[in-house]
């Protein structure tokens, strides 16, 4: 696997791949997986999916300071570069783009992105400026890598909706793919932040997924949105360690919360529902979601 740190070097290295030389030597399609490192099986599943849809797979590792609204979360973000490189090599990734902050943000960034109602809910309200930072780094990486396909996890459902909106609004010629959430055996969604959990926190962390399953069950039993939401929240409230920020039942495409008095039976069958949760265990903030057909 090639490792490249500089933008010019990356562009130079990719140019021969994306240039169609002859009929017999057509250009190669590029699949791109942006990450912040501290890789786990969830990230690797994106690389594997990218390999099925593209000829050349690029992963980036960059802990983007612009998307952190909490300095502690940024400075304590786990780093495991050597292990990451081994995992990427084993997964058959072709190239790792590994820029540092100076490379990505030579000049201070003055651009801001707003996504209207898409970022006025859930993560957007609890992490001010987060999605502007995500939008800027992803747009920059798209311009640098110029992939044909880009792969993101459903784990960050709101992020996916926002990037899809940005790709449509700004006409990036990139096909996005939303890949399923990889979980530990006990249901906990894999996350780089999980490795910061202490033993006790790790023991109760699967309750987050349980709360989603419970909410889904209540919805399947035709309870109102409010009752289903309450049951999910109460499950977390049993454990004083959780400081829950939200558990929302939303339209999975628009991300807008469904009317709390709504009787699920009356909902348009075509609407895909998602239950999304964000909660803190000590200083560690975890998110998860589940889709309901």
Alpha helices (runs of H) in the chain, residue ranges in sequence order: 7-18, 41-53, 71-75, 81-91, 101-104, 123-126, 130-145, 157-169, 199-204, 207-220, 225-237
Please, which residue, 45 or 148, has the CB nearer to ligand AMP?
45
Please, which residue, 156 or 248, has the CB nearer to ligand AMP?
156
CA angle 61, 64, 65 (to 5 degrees): 150
Please, which residue, 155 or 216, has the CB nearer to ligand AMP?
155
Q: Is 179 a binder of ligand AMP (CB under 6 A)? A: yes
| Size, binding site for ligand AMP by CB under 6 A | 17
Closest C-alpha among 8, 276, 2, 10 to residue 161: 276
> Residue 116 Cβ, how far from ligand AMP at the closest point, in Å?
22
Candidate residues 118, 166, 190, 274; the one interacting with ligand AMP per rule CB under 6 A = 190
Interatomic CA distance for residues 133 and 256, integer angstroms: 21
Task: Specify the pairing of strand 175-179 against strand 2-4.
Answer: unpaired
> Residue 16 Cβ, how far from ligand AMP at the closest point, in Å?
28
Closest C-alpha among 203, 177, 144, 118 to residue 8: 144
Q: How many CB atoms lie within 10 A of CB 254?
A: 12
Candidate residues 4, 46, 145, 258; the one interacting with ligand AMP per rule CB under 6 A = 46
Number of alpha helices (DSSP H) and beta strands (DSSP E) in the chain: 11, 9
What are the start-end ranges of the E strands in 40-167? 56-61, 95-97, 149-153
The span of 24-32, 181-189, 215-223, 276-284 binding ligand AMP (CB under 6 A) equals 181-189
Torsions phi, psi for 34 (to 5 deg): -80, 135
Annotated active-site residue 43? The verdict is yes
Candidate residues 182, 207, 216, 235; the one interacting with ligand AMP per rule CB under 6 A = 182
> Residue 272 Cβ, how far from ligand AMP at the closest point, in Å?
18
Widest Cα–Cα separation across the chain? 65
Candidate residues 14, 30, 36, 137; the one interacting with ligand AMP per rule CB under 6 A = 36
Please, which residue, 42 or 135, has the CB nearer to ligand AMP?
42
The active-site residue out of 43, 130, 149, 235 is 43
Contacts to ligand AMP by CB under 6 A: 35-36, 42-43, 45-46, 152-153, 155-156, 179, 181-182, 189-192
Which residues are catalytic, by number?
Answer: 43
């Amino acid at each position: 696997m090639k490792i490249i740190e500089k933008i010019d070097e990356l562009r130079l290295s990719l140019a021969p791949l994306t240039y169609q030389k002859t009929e017999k030597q057509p250009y190669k399609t590029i699949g791109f997986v942006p990450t912040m490192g501290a890789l786990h099986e969830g990230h690797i599943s994106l690389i594997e999916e990218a390999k099925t849809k593209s000829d050349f797979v690029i992963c980036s590792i960059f802990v983007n300071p612009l998307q952190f609204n909490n300095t502690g979360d940024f400075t304590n973000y786990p780093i495991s570069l050597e292990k990451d490189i081994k995992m990427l090599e084993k997964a058959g990734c072709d190239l790792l783009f590994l820029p540092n902050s100076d490379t990505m943000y030579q000049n201070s960034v003055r651009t801001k992105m707003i996504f209207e109602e898409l970022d006025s809910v859930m993560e957007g309200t609890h992490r001010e400026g987060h999605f502007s930072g995500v939008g800027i780094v992803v747009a920059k990486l798209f311009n640098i890598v110029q992939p044909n396909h880009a792969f993101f996890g459903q784990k960050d459902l709101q992020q996916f909706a926002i990037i899809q909106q940005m790709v449509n609004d700004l006409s990036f010629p990139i096909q996005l793919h939303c890949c399923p959430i990889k979980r530990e055996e006990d249901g906990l969604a894999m996350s780089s932040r999980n490795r910061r959990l202490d033993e006790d926190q790790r023991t109760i962390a699967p309750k987050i997924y349980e709360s989603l399953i419970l909410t889904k069950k209540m919805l399947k039993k035709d309870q109102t949105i409010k009752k289903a939401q309450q049951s999910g929240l109460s499950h977390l409230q049993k454990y004083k360690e959780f400081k829950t920020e939200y558990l929302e039942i939303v339209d999975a495409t628009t991300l807008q919360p469904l009317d709390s008095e709504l009787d699920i039976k009356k909902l348009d069958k075509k609407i895909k529902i998602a239950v999304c949760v964000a909660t803190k265990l000590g200083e560690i903030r975890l998110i998860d979601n589940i889709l309901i057909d």
